Structure 1
Amino acid sequence: MPVRAADTSAPPQHHSGSNSGHTSPPPFTLLSVGQGFSGTQNVSGLQKDEAWRVNVRIQGCDLEHGYLCGTMEALNVPMADTPVVTFWEGEIVDTKNYTFFTEKWEATQDDDIRHWTKFPSFAALLNQVEVDGGKSLDLSNYPYIFMRWKEQYFVNVGTDCGLTIAGFYYVCFSCSDGSINGFYYDPNSSPFQKLELKSTNEGRLGFSFSSYELR
């Protein structure tokens, strides 16, 4: 939710491969409902250097259809009196429901490649993605999960809050440590605003954000 603009990873795994001895948690363990993440989003522009503290909570997950959703809370937004909360929906790049090509939200295939290649973990996938968007890749054992997050609406403020949710995030989730990195894309906002999050334990202990009714 940026300010409204006025101004060496392992190669992809295949079903025939074996992964014996791997002790990392199951890939989607930290993408389950209730899991929390916290960190920052860099919203720096040409005029100033700025980062907001951000909390994310997963509210829903349907792996069969490559879907997840959640809330994003920005805590120190200069033009807002309270934390700003948005509701987002996500697409998991599983090559079955979604590929690396967005094909909407004003993103071209060149935009997709430009953003995905900012993740070092994507390097091993690039050649095949350029061919068919990654449709022929088997990502079931890949140590990273790629997603797109699209904010749908503001939960607790009006659309006149000075922020925009017109764009979306390219997201990379690390299965080994639960960290998330993302880059915001919106042709009318500062490019490559970086989202950096780490998983927290609060969700497992009953912690939740302030009560917001999602409509």
Structure 2
Amino acid sequence: MPVRVVEGSAPSQRSGQDASNGRVLPPYSLLSVGRAFAGTQNVSSLQKDEAWRVNVRIQGCDLDNGYLCGTMEALNVPLADTPVVTFWEGELIDAKNYTFYTGKWEATPDDDIRHWSKFPSFGPLLSQVEADGGKSLDLSNYPFVFMRWKEQYFVNVGIDCGLTIAGFYYVCFSCSDGSINGFYYDPNSSPFQKLELKSANEGLSGFTFSSYQLQ
């Protein structure tokens, strides 16, 4: 949910580990409903350095159809009196429902490759993705889960809040430590705004959302 600023080795085949108790879990199980993440989004521009604190919670997940959804809360947005919450829907890159090529939201195949290549874990997959978008890849046991997140609407503020949700996020989830990295894409916003999140479910000190009703 950035401010609109216009400016010119072989993969390991292992499942994720739940950091709270050391149990080895299937990769997608770490993206279950209720999972929470906290971190920052860097929205720096040529004019200034800026980062927002961000909370994300998964609200729905349908692995068979490569779908998940959730809420994103930005806490220290300039000119906003309250945290700004958006609802997003996600596409799991599973080579069945969705490939690495977006095919919408103004993203070209070159844009896709450029953004996915920002993730070191994408390197071993690059040649196959360039060949067919990754349709022939088996990602079921890959230790990273790739996704796209598209914010659909503002939950608690109006569209005149000074932010844009016209773009979407390229996202990489690490099954080994539960961390999330992402890059925001919108041709009319500052490029490669980085999202960095860590799991907030472990221990007794997490964060909580205010109550919002999703329409």
What is the TM-score of this pair, normalised by structure 2?
0.91
Native 8 Å contact 1:169 1:184 kept in 2:
yes
- Among the aligned pairs, what percent are the same residue? 81
Native 8 Å contact 1:144 1:172 kept in 2:
yes
- Give 1:37's aligned amino acid: F
Aligned-partner Cα distance in 2 for 1:140–1:191: 30
Aligned-partner Cα distance in 1 for 2:204–2:97: 29
Native 8 Å contact 2:4 2:190 kept in 1:
no
Q: How does 1:11-26 map to 2 (within 5 A)?
A: 11=11, 24-26=24-26
Aligned-partner Cα distance in 2 for 1:201–1:130: 36
Q: Does residue 1:172 correspond to 2:172, yes or no?
A: yes
Distance 1:139 1:146, change over 3 A: same
Native 8 Å contact 1:115 1:183 kept in 2:
yes
- Give 1:44's aligned amino acid: S
Distance 1:204 1:125, change over 3 A: farther
Distance 1:110 1:51, change over 3 A: same
Q: Does residue 1:45 correspond to 2:45, yes or no?
A: yes
The count of residues paired between Structure 1 and Structure 2 equals 208
Ranges in structure 2 where 5+ consecutive residues have no aligned partner? 18-22
Aligned-partner Cα distance in 2 for 1:96–1:60: 19
Native 8 Å contact 1:151 1:165 kept in 2:
yes
Native 8 Å contact 1:80 1:161 kept in 2:
yes
Q: Residue 93 of structure 1 aligns with which residue? A: 93
Task: Show CA shifts across 1:116-140 (max 9, x none).
Answer: 0000000000000000000000011
Q: Over the residues paired in the alignment, what is the CA RMSD in angstroms?
A: 2.1
Distance 1:181 1:198, change over 3 A: same
Q: Residue 34 of structure 2 aligns with which residue? A: 34
- Give 1:213's aligned amino acid: Q
Native 8 Å contact 1:53 1:76 kept in 2:
yes
Distance 1:205 1:27, change over 3 A: farther
Distance 1:49 1:206, change over 3 A: closer
- Give 1:131's aligned amino acid: A
Q: How does 1:52-201 map to 2 (within 5 A)?
A: 52-201=52-201
Ranges in structure 1 where 5+ consecutive residues have no aligned partner? 14-18
Native 8 Å contact 2:99 2:134 kept in 1:
yes
Native 8 Å contact 1:183 1:192 kept in 2:
yes
Native 8 Å contact 1:174 1:180 kept in 2:
yes
* 1:200 Cα offset (Å): 1.0
Aligned-partner Cα distance in 1 for 2:92–2:126: 17
Aligned-partner Cα distance in 2 for 1:49–1:100: 30
- Give 2:79's aligned amino acid: M
Native 8 Å contact 1:35 1:204 kept in 2:
no
* 1:208 Cα offset (Å): 4.0
* 1:64 Cα offset (Å): 0.2
Aligned-partner Cα distance in 2 for 1:96–1:133: 11
* 1:79 Cα offset (Å): 1.4
* 1:6 Cα offset (Å): 5.0
Task: Show CA shifts across 1:119-167 (max 9, x none).
Answer: 0000000000000000000011100000000000000000000000000
- Runs of 4+ with deviation above 3 angstroms: 202-208
